[in-house]
């Protein structure tokens, strides 16, 4: 009888790696691949923590029938998510205790770094979880799961210490690709996170004070061919959205100077080969994006960075983001926390990306922009830190530069990092300052930046309608840090539409779908269109069905008909 395994995805969010829907990270895929490599006939069931919550009694009863239940968990980067809610410590403890017979395995960052609750809090070390699980794995989790599966999921195995092995990962990544068909976002906006390497190139100088990436040690790179094989397997399984997001700095992929310099010189040809190989095996991807880039690499290696940007733009889809971990524009904080760049270097890195990436692409967004991350509660932070960050972003705005988004986080302290000893003491002390500063950043920087990024009447193509909300519906494109669109009317979800931007919030926009079918358009849709009077809306509603565009133009100004692509 084949082994029966269940993977419960409680989601992960790390400095390099996102696994909250619509993203699917490596943990579920590699776990499934490791088990299928050991036992090709194993029956593996995947579902998310949100699915479990939706019908708890049913799923808990179902779980008792498996030979092994694997939980994935670990949020090391605080955030709010439209697509799902990561598993809570209380849920993990309660549910694991209600599952009696199956072997229970905990996988993910939670095992090494604890349970990140929220920014501004110290991580919870999951010692109490040890009695609730038979095994707990993070590093080399795929190898441990393979060994357990080979031994028919026995308890109390004496397992050796394994290191992560790129050649083994190449096998499980391909084997596990088909698990994507069980994801609730499959055949919709599912984005698979691809790992190009692990470990931080700045490990030679210790890395940033708060970051867990240097704890992975010296970077180990995956081969281009192995990454392409994984993408091909995902593509053949039906995936159409790919992000090269699982690495601290894509621009140092396969750099020959890693381990020798803090800012190793990029290997341009390796990155060119990587992108060419991906589009060769997956020619009709709807999304191909990146994520993390070290602004220090861009600053110290301008020529190579410009060439890499051009390679990315040649092969990717627009709306791409190179997320910059600037963290602070206060030189004191930069020095005390061993951060990557001083403010003048960070500004130059933003200029470099803008010089080639700011042109607008076919889907309504600029091709490739930097994103800016700020972290608060670090050593040396004072009132001057908040002023320095605001002044820095004012200069970005003043120069006419674009950034896709500004992430403002409160530090989450993890064991093994220099910030662990300090914890949340600094952010608690500066709580009032942080609140005022965040409000000013949203009002003074985010809003005018978003208006420049997507002006009124911009058409955002291929937005996925994801969720009903209070008074309307939420949609967004697939990709890295997509712009959230609020449609101020109810509509069917799980559809793909084009949207015209009408108004701007601090971090989202209000829009309506286009083309507008005037004879079936919801009343609230019509009422949300600026320049369309209440009387005009009433006239349209009374006279529907309208027979042709001439009748439409008698009620709605011609320019609006054209901008919104109104149809009968």
- Report residue 412's pLDDT band, with 50, 70 and 90 as the boundaries: confident
- Residue 225 to residue 292: CA distance in whole angstroms: 21
pLDDT at position 493: 97
Domain with CATH 2.40.50.140 in the chain: 459-567
The stretch 80-87 carries a mean pLDDT of 92
pLDDT at residue 524 tops 90: yes
Round to whole Å and give the CA distance between 139 and 258. Answer: 21
Instruction: Give 333 or 116, the one with higher predicted confidence.
Output: 333
Report CA-CA distances (Å) from 380 to 171, 295, 333, 377: 46, 21, 5, 9
Three-state SS for 132-199 is CCCEEEECEHHHHHHHHHHCCCCCCCCCCCCCCCHHHHHHHHHHHHHHHHHCCCCCCCCEEEEECEEC
Q: Where in the chain is the domain with CATH 3.80.30.20?
A: 190-453
* Per-residue pLDDT, 125: 63
| pLDDT at 58 (0 to 100) | 93
Please provide the distance, in angstroms rounded to a whole number, between the alpha carbons at the two ends of the chain: 59
**190-453 fold:** pyruvate-formate lyase- activating enzyme (3.80.30)
pLDDT digits (tens, 9 = 90+) for 252-279: 999 999 999 999 999 999 999 999 999 9
As annotated, the residues of the chain forming the CATH 3.40.50 domain(s) are 4-166
d(CA 184, CA 186): 6
Whether the pLDDT of residue 175 is over 90: the answer is yes
The single residue listed with the structure tokens 């050649």 is: 167
Question: Domain 4-166: which CATH class?
Answer: alpha beta
Q: Centre a 10 Å sphere on the Cβ of residue 359 and count the other Cβ atoms it contains.
A: 11
Confidence of residue 517 (pLDDT cuts 50, 70, 90): very high
Q: What is the mean pLDDT of residues 506-533?
A: 95
pLDDT in tens, 414-426: 888 999 889 889 9
d(CA 28, CA 313): 30
The correct answer on CATH 2.60.40.10 for the domain covering 459-567 is no
Mind listing the pLDDT tens digit for each residue in 364-406?
999 999 999 999 999 999 999 999 999 999 999 999 999 999 9
Rounded Cα distance, 475 and 464, in Å? 5
pLDDT in tens, 536-559: 999 999 999 999 999 999 999 999
309: nearest Cα among 366, 247, 240: 366
Q: Are 149 and 105 in contact (CB under 8 A)?
A: no
Instruction: Indicate if the pLDDT at residue 122 is higher than 70.
Output: no
Q: What is the pTM of this model?
A: 0.95
**Position 73 confidence tier, pLDDT thresholds 50, 70, 90:** very high
Cβ(192)–Cβ(241) below 8 Å = yes
């Amino acid at each position: 009888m084949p082994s029966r395994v269940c993977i419960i995805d409680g989601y992960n969010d790390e400095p390099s790696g996102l696994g909250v829907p619509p993203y699917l990270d490596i943990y579920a895929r590699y776990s499934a691949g490791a088990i299928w490599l050991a036992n090709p006939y194993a029956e593996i069931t995947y579902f998310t923590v949100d699915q479990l919550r939706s019908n708890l009694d049913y799923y808990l009863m179902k779980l008792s029938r498996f030979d092994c239940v694997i939980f994935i968990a670990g949020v090391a980067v605080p955030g709010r998510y439209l697509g799902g809610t990561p598993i809570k410590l209380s849920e993990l403890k309660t549910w694991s205790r209600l599952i009696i017979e199956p072997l229970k395995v905990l996988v993910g960052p939670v095992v090494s770094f604890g349970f990140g609750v929220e920014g501004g809090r110290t991580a919870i070390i999951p010692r109490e979880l040890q009695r609730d699980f038979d095994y707990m794995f993070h590093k080399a989790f795929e190898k441990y799961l393979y060994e357990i599966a080979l031994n028919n999921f026995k308890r109390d195995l004496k397992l050796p210490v394994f290191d992560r092995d790129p050649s083994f990962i190449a096998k499980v990544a391909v084997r596990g690709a088909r698990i994507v068909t069980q994801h609730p976002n499959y055949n919709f906006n599912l984005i698979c996170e691809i790992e190009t390497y692990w470990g931080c190139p700045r490990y030679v100088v210790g890395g940033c004070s708060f970051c867990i990436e240097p704890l992975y040690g010296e970077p180990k790179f995956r081969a281009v061919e192995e990454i392409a094989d994984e993408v091909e397997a995902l593509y053949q399984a039906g995936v159409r959205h790919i992000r090269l997001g699982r690495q601290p700095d894509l621009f140092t992929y396969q750099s020959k100077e890693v381990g020798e310099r803090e800012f190793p010189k990029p290997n341009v040809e390796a990155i060119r080969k990587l992108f060419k190989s991906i589009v060769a095996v997956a020619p009709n991807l709807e999304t191909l994006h990146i994520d993390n880039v070290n602004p220090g690499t861009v600053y110290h290696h301008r020529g190579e960075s410009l060439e890499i940007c051009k390679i990315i733009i040649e092969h990717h889809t627009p709306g791409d983001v190179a997320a910059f971990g600037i963290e602070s524009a206060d030189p004191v904080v930069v020095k005390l926390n061993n951060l990557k760049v001083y403010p003048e270097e960070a500004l130059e890195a933003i200029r470099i990306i803008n010089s080639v990436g700011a042109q607008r692409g076919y889907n309504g967004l600029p091709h490739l922009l930097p994103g800016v991350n700020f972290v608060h509660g670090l050593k040396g932070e004072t009132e001057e830190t908040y002023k320095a960050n605001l002044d820095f972003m004012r200069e970005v705005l003043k120069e006419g530069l674009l950034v896709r988004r500004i992430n403002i986080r409160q530090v989450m302290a993890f064991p093994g990092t220099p910030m662990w000893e300090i914890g949340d003491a600094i952010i608690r002390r500066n709580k009032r300052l942080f609140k005022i500063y965040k409000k000013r950043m949203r009002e003074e920087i985010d809003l005018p930046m978003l208006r420049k990024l997507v002006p009124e009447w911009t058409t955002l193509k291929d937005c996925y309608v994801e969720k009903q909300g209070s008074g309307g519906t939420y949609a967004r494109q697939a990709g890295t840090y997509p712009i959230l669109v609020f449609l101020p009317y109810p509509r069917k979800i799980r559809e793909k539409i084009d949207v015209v931007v009408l108004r701007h919030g601090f971090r989202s926009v209000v829009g309506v779908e286009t083309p507008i079918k005037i004879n079936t358009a919801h009343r609230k849709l019509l009422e949300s269109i600026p320049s369309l009077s209440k009387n005009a809306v009433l006239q349209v509603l009374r006279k529907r069905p309208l027979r042709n565009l001439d009748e439409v133009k008698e009620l709605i100004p011609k320019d609006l008909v054209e901008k919104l692509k109104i149809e009968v």
